[in-house]
């Protein structure tokens, strides 16, 4: 993670927080989809240093959760 750029740091914190909330929701509701997506959103900001890739990855995870929930 590029700690020299505050936008990347704050974006990682925000995406990780959303992942944490999804993880807690999935654990409480016993919903594997939310649980997996929450873990993915918590972990992947540590490995991505580009702001654009971070937000695209978060959008892909959330879009995948929507598609997985909607079309199953």
Residue 1's pLDDT band (cuts 50, 70, 90): low
Q: 62 near 37, Cβ under 8 Å?
A: yes
Predicted model pTM? 0.86
Per-residue pLDDT for 35 more than 60? yes
- In this prediction, residue 3 carries a pLDDT of 66
Per-residue pLDDT for 47 more than 70? yes
Per-residue pLDDT for 2 more than 70? no
CA end-to-end span of the chain: 35
The residues spanned by each domain of the chain are 6-70
Q: 58 near 15, Cβ under 8 Å?
A: yes
């Amino acid at each position: 993670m590029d700690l020299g750029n505050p936008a990347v740091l704050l974006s990682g914190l925000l995406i990780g927080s959303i992942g944490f909330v999804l993880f807690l929701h999935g654990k409480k509701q016993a919903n594997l989809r939310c649980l997996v997506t929450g873990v993915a959103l918590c972990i992947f900001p540590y490995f991505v240093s580009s702001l654009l890739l971070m937000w695209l990855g978060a959008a892909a995870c959330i879009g995948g959760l929507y598609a997985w929930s909607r079309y199953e």
